[in-house]
Structure formats: structure tokens, C-alpha cells
Amino acid sequence: MALLDKNVKDQVSSTHKLFFHQNFYYWNDAMRGILIGEVCPRMIEAGKPTLALQLANMADNMLLGKVNKIATGLVAKEGVWYGEDFSENTLHNYRYAENLYNPHDYSNSFFEMIDSLDAKTAAAYLQHVVKPASALEQYANERGYTGRDYLNDMVGTHYLRELNYSQALAYLSRVSDAYRHHHNLTLKFDPFSYLPKPIAPTAVFKLGFAQEMLRLEGAIKQAVDGDEKARLLYKYALGTLNSFKNCWPLVHYYKGTGYVNSVCRKRHWWDDAYTQRAYAQFDKLVAQACAVAEDKNIAADIQYELCNFKTVAQQYPASEKAQLIKGECDNLKDYYRSFQPVGYYY
């Protein structure tokens, strides 16, 4: 490792350019092949994910840190990425400029590794970045990218994915305002509307979502009136569902198995355990909301919005929505067939 480090440091040219994270530089590529191809996977299997992440981070970022510049080609104009500006930027500008696309930090082997692990493991890694437990950890940390904004956002997003909003808030609140604008993503829909409700695209959305979900948790516990509790439960349920549907940037950094200039094949997160858990939680919360509602019109309204017309007619026959269904049965059947629910992706 020391030999590879020395050769990367001594032999790389000060004029060496990195286009995104592609460099084709022998000594760096040799180090990446050894660490990412052999060492890190074995450490994951051996139950040492923290050191595996530290070494993967070093492999992806050591050369970049030594050169301290990167050539970029995608810039944002009115929320759309264009390949019009192949300019050379310092790492700080690359990572914090609002109009620059950053494929490196969200598309390298370290990112894919930490993104595939759970929140507890990601949080433990961050703790070892702040306070390394050995000289080897210190060595790896010094050669990786350990920006606190980047890592706190990563851990906070993991906790959003696990529906742990208090822990998510603890980490997301440590992310600077300057960095919250630079995730390559924007939120385009209201996470608390079942039907897709467009909002003004914003890049600052995770922190506010965590705060609102926590507020709802507290309000649900304190609610005495059944109808009010039902409304709160349903709103909380929508936030849970939508964060894995058309508001997926709340809990993920990408959609699909490919990514611009990626070095890894991405996860099928839309049907993984986290997503299935969120769907099951949504069903449970909806059932609770309907059960506690004293005014059954509220329960009927919820089921009607979810297109559960048979449930409305059978369980709430005296409700206003049940009467509507009886009078408009054929029309609603046609509507249901053509309706595309909130789960569509953009």
C-alpha cells in the first residue's frame, strides 16, 4: 500500500486532468483494483465494513485529492442538465456550486458500497471518520473524501430510508445550507398528496420532510379527537409512501440501475426490503386512520381517494362517498381503469 501511495503521489503530473472520475492512471488504477476488487469485498464478508468503506473511499478519492481539480461537462439551466461547459474546477467548487453536476461523489465504488449498507453501519463509519480507531483508519481517512456535509447527508438519507425520522433529523440538521443545494436532484411533487401534485422544484427538501414527519409523530400521540388523529395518520402514511414513490429523492440519490459515468451497477431499490417495509407501513397506517375516525365520512374519503370503491360501498354504506359510488358506478369503474396512481416515476 505504501508503495502504491508513493507512486501515485510522486509520479502523477501536476497538470494531470480528471474527466469526472476516469483517469486511466496506472498506479492509481492498480490501487483501485487491489482495494475495490479484492480487499474491500473480503472485509465486508469478514464483518469489517467500516475499514472497507475507509479503504474504498481512499481508492476513489486519493488521486483526485492530490490533483485537486476535475473537468466537468454538465451544468444546470432552469433545472435541466446540459453538456455545454467542459470546464476545469477545484474540488470545492465542483462539490458546492449549485449549477454543476457531480457524478463522482454519487457514482463511485465507495458511494455504491455505503449506499447498499444500513444506516447503523453508515453512522458507525462516520464516527470512525471523526475519531479514527487506528493508524490505518487515520491513513485511509486522510486520503479519502471525508467532507462532513457529504457524509452527514448520506447518513441522514439512510435513516429516512429506514423511516427513523428522529435520527435522520439529527444528521441532516448538520448539513450546511450551501451543500443542501448540490445533490444532483430536486423534489418535484408534494410528498403529502396522494395524487401527484407538482410543486416548485426545490433542492432543499430532506430536512423539512424529516421535521414534518417528526411533527406528525408527536401530533398523532397527543391527538385526543379521533377524527383529527385519523387525518394526521393519513398524512403521515402519505409521507411514508410517497418517499418511496414519486418523491423518491427523499430517500435515494438515483433512479434506475444505470447512472451517468457510473462505475457500478445500481441497486433495484424500488422493490427491496426498505421499500416493501414502507408499503406495508402505509397499509397499516391507513387501516389505523380509518379505525380511529369517529366520522366515517373521513374513513370513506380516505378509501375513496385510494380508489378502494368496493371498500367504501361495503364498509361505509351511509357515507357521502358511498352514495356517490352507487350513482356513478360505471363512471368510477372506467376512471379506476385509466387512473395511474402515485407510484409512477418521473
CB 188 within 8 Å of CB 207: no
Dihedral sign computed on CA atoms, order 133, 137, 143, 147? negative
CA nearest 122: which of 257, 280, 253, 29?
253
φ and ψ at residue 154, rounded to 5 degrees:
-65, -50
Q: Are 94 and 102 in contact (CB under 8 A)?
A: yes
Taking alpha carbons only, the member of 171, 91, 161, 164 closest to residue 125 is 171
- Give the model's pLDDT for residue 21: 46
CA–CA distance from 105 to each of 25, 136, 142 (Å)? 19, 23, 17
Instruction: Return per-residue pLDDT of the chain as tens, 346 residues.
Output: 665 666 666 555 544 444 444 555 677 788 888 999 899 999 999 999 999 999 999 999 988 887 777 766 665 554 555 555 556 778 888 888 777 778 789 888 999 999 999 999 999 999 999 999 999 999 999 999 999 999 999 999 999 999 999 999 999 999 998 887 777 788 999 999 999 999 987 778 999 999 999 999 999 999 999 999 999 999 999 999 999 999 999 999 888 665 555 555 567 787 889 999 999 999 999 999 999 999 999 999 999 999 999 899 999 999 999 998 887 765 555 545 444 454 444 3
Report the pLDDT value the prediction gives residue 146, as an integer from 0 to 100: 97
- Determine the Cα–Cα distance for residues 168 and 214; give it in Å rounded to an integer: 10
Asked whether the beta carbons of 9 and 92 are under 8 A apart, the reply is no
The distance from CA 192 to its chain's CA centroid, rounded to whole angstroms, is 17
pLDDT on residue 24: 52
DSSP 3-state helix, strand, coil percentages of the chain (rounded to 5)? 60, 5, 35
